[in-house]
């Protein structure tokens, strides 16, 4: 194999002074065709299909579960170029920090292993204050001074796990007065999730929070993960100490990188709390390739033609819309949202499901599971159903595929659907002991059910909560749903089972937490009939 072929196979750009990995560390030349290297240039399969994974046309936006965003060409080039060198990471972080400060006009910048990792590192920095003895004690905060984080109730969300991973106690507040009272010597920082209730003019806006915090020297961390980058950063100007962005969303950087902008001293402590340094952040490693890729994404942000990108997105939506309007009964509408977060136009395709005999949810499920696979949104409200298309992560040529696919489904003739349900063959009213089998553990839940014909309601006792459950039964097919909710988090349990008089057996769809199995047995009540006599007063003996 010659030098050119090696470069092509390994994807290494030959630049002056770089290390060309043409031989292993032990001096053995690479074989002609290592069995473990996939060929991304295969004419009949892309690299994902070569391992049995189907690709998806993304009409939903920058969702992590779909891969985030498409990295800019400048990002890919920077990451590839970075792979050919070795550097000292603290020196790299310092160089990137200075460059980010120059580009964004922020005091300092840092690249983390995703936005959530950035939240974790900043929290650790606020708890430890740059003191390594305190840092390596995390998450055991016994004896530490700063152990509490204040979060407005409106900011509680699934990503504040990153803050809680440090072991802090979360103090929730709802008003400025509560915030004033909550701040005490144990307060490490205030975490705010950017959104409508944090906007200027709101009762507990970022400005209000920052004014209170500044007077008491408490840092404010603002989570702006999915926002467009503003230069200079609008949130720093509004009083935030540090602002965190996701690399894999609007900025179109590496999916596994995040961007932190703000106070230099605090970000130096956050860097100390991240990999390669040992401590609570060692598990959030960010590679030199991602660090320089994130820097390249920020550089590219300043030169991208954002108006031209928007116009391209609108043209794709227009192509789909024109195709959909050929179907009688279908209307379309493009909404162009304001603000900074998840900023992209959205095409809403609407119809009456009683006329076309299909719902938006059914179409979304159909295109999600069958080729060509497409991720779209859907909803049904006020006798109108719809699907929605977000174009900012679509690729050239996707619009035609999407338009044709949706047209074929929506224009298909269907018979009116009957609302008549098959009569229930089983009555599941009663008390059920449920054994849930997760991947590597089991739990015992309880179901208390009442059945009225095909419809079921009752109570689901899960591991840590009791919540309402509702569902239906047709023949012996049982379907139930309950929702476990705590501040910032929720888990939906979707039970699907075959029912008999004494047993239920099936699966529990857990959304992003995948699927569990379950079996349930009807519990028999104590049938002893015994009169109860209640004493007429205090006991005369204990």
Asked if residue 471 lies in contact with residue 483, where contact means CB atoms within 8 angstroms, the answer is no
- Which of 33-37, 262-266, 368-372, 413-417 comes out lowest in average pLDDT? 33-37
Asked if residue 255 lies in contact with residue 277, where contact means CB atoms within 8 angstroms, the answer is no
Q: Give the mean pLDDT of 167-178.
A: 98
3-class secondary structure, 111: strand
Q: Which of 149, 153, 152 is nearest to 186 (CA)?
A: 149
DSSP secondary structure of 390-457:
--TT--TTHHHHHHHHHHHHHTS--PPPP---PPBS----EEEEEEEE-SS-EEEEEEEEEEETTEEE
Q: Which two tokens stand for residue 281?
A: 């952040």
Compute the distance between CA of residue 257 and CA of residue 75 in angstroms, rounded to an integer.
Answer: 12
Q: Is the pTM of this model over 0.85?
A: yes
Element (H, E) at 79: helix 73-82
Asked if residue 472 lies in contact with residue 479, where contact means CB atoms within 8 angstroms, the answer is yes
Domains observed in the chain: 1-53 (no CATH), 73-301 (3.40.640.10), 306-410 (3.90.1150.180), 430-522 (2.40.128.120)
Residue 27, pLDDT > 70, answer: no
Q: Give the mean pLDDT of 98-112.
A: 98
Asked if residue 394 lies in contact with residue 58, where contact means CB atoms within 8 angstroms, the answer is yes
Compute the distance between CA of residue 28 and CA of residue 45 in angstroms, rounded to an integer.
Answer: 30
The angle at the Cα of 418, spanning 417 to 423, to the nearest 5 degrees, equals: 140
The predicted pLDDT at position 39 comes to 59
Task: Quickly count: other Cβ atoms within 10 Å of residue 183's Cβ.
Answer: 19
Asked if residue 410 lies in contact with residue 404, where contact means CB atoms within 8 angstroms, the answer is no
pLDDT digits (tens, 9 = 90+) for 194-203: 999 999 999 9
Compute the distance between CA of residue 263 and CA of residue 140 in angstroms, rounded to an integer.
Answer: 26
Higher-confidence residue of 418 and 381: namely: 381
The pLDDT confidence band at residue 418, using thresholds 50, 70 and 90, is confident
pLDDT digits (tens, 9 = 90+) for 62-102: 999 999 999 999 999 999 999 989 999 999 999 999 999 99
The predicted pLDDT at position 42 comes to 62
The pLDDT confidence band at residue 342, using thresholds 50, 70 and 90, is confident
Residues in the chain, total: 542
Element (H, E) at 262: strand 258-262
- 488 Cβ contact partners less than 8 Å away, ≥ 6 residues apart: 156, 157, 158, 160
Task: Quickly count: other Cβ atoms within 10 Å of residue 55's Cβ.
Answer: 13
Q: What is the DSSP letter of 30?
A: P
Asked if residue 477 lies in contact with residue 456, where contact means CB atoms within 8 angstroms, the answer is no
The predicted pLDDT at position 41 comes to 56
In the chain, % helix, strand, coil (3-state, to 5) comes to 30, 25, 45
Asked if residue 445 lies in contact with residue 434, where contact means CB atoms within 8 angstroms, the answer is yes
Task: Quickly count: other Cβ atoms within 10 Å of residue 505's Cβ.
Answer: 14
Residue 472, pLDDT > 70, answer: yes
Across the chain, mean pLDDT equals 91
Q: What is the DSSP letter of 341?
A: B
pLDDT digits (tens, 9 = 90+) for 296-323: 999 999 999 999 999 999 999 999 999 9
Compute the distance between CA of residue 346 and CA of residue 361 in angstroms, rounded to an integer.
Answer: 17
């Amino acid at each position: 194999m010659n030098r050119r072929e090696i470069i092509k196979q390994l994807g290494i750009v030959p630049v002056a002074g770089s290390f060309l990995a043409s031989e292993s560390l032990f001096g053995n030349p690479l074989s002609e065709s290592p069995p473990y290297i996939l060929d991304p240039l295969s004419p009949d399969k892309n690299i994902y299909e070569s391992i049995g994974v189907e690709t998806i046309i993304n009409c939903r936006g920058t969702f992590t579960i779909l891969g985030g965003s498409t990295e800019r060409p400048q990002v890919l080039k920077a990451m590839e170029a970075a792979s050919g060198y070795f550097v000292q990471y603290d020196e790299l972080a310092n160089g990137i920090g200075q460059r980010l400060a120059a580009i964004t006009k922020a005091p300092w910048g840092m690249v983390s292993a995703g936005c959530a990792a950035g939240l974790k590192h900043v929290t650790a920095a606020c708890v430890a204050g740059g003191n390594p003895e305190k840092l390596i004690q995390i998450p055991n905060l016994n004896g530490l001074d700063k152990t509490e984080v204040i979060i407005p109730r409106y900011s509680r969300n699934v990503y504040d796990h990153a803050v809680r991973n440090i072991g802090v106690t979360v103090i929730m507040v709802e008003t400025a007065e509560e915030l004033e009272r909550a701040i005490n010597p144990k307060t490490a920082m205030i975490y705010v999730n950017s959104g409508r209730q944090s906007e200027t003019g709101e009762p507990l806006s970022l400005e209000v929070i920052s004014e209170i915090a500044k007077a008491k020297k408490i840092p404010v961390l603002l989570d702006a993960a999915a926002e467009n980058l503003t230069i200079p950063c609008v949130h720093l100007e509004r009083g935030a100490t540090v602002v965190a962005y996701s690399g894999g969303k609007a900025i179109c950087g590496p999916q596994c990188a995040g961007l932190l902008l703000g106070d230099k001293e605090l970000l130096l402590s956050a860097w100390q709390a991240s990999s390669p340094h040992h401590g609570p952040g060692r598990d959030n490693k960010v590679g030199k390739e991602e660090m320089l890729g994130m820097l390249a994404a920020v550089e590219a942000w300043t030169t991208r033609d954002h108006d031209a990108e928007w116009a391209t997105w609108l043209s794709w939506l227009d192509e789909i819309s024109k195709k959909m309007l050929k179907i009688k009964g279908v209307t379309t509408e493009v909404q162009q949202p304001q603000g900074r977060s998840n900023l992209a136009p959205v095409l809403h395709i609407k119809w009456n499901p009683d006329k076309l005999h299909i719902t938006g949810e059914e179409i979304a499920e159909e295109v999600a599971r069958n080729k060509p696979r497409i991720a779209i949104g859907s909803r049904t409200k006020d006798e109108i159903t719809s699907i929605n298309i977000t174009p900012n992560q679509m690729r050239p040529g996707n619009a035609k595929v999407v338009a044709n696919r949706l047209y074929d489904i929506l224009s298909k003739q269907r018979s009116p659907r009957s609302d008549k349900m098959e009569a229930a063959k089983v009555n599941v009213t009663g008390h059920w002991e449920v054994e849930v089998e997760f991947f590597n553990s089991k739990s015992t839940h309880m179901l208390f059910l009442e059945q009225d014909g095909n419809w079921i309601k009752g109570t689901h006792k899960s591991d840590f909560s009791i919540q309402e459950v509702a569902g239906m039964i047709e023949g012996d097919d049982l379907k139930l749903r309950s929702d476990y909710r705590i501040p910032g988090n929720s888990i939906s349990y979707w039970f699907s089972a075959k029912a008999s008089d004494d047993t239920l057996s099936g699966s529990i769809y857990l959304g992003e937490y995948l699927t569990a199995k379950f079996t349930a047995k009807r519990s028999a009540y104590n049938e002893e009939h015994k009169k109860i006599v209640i004493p007429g007063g205090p006991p005369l003996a204990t």
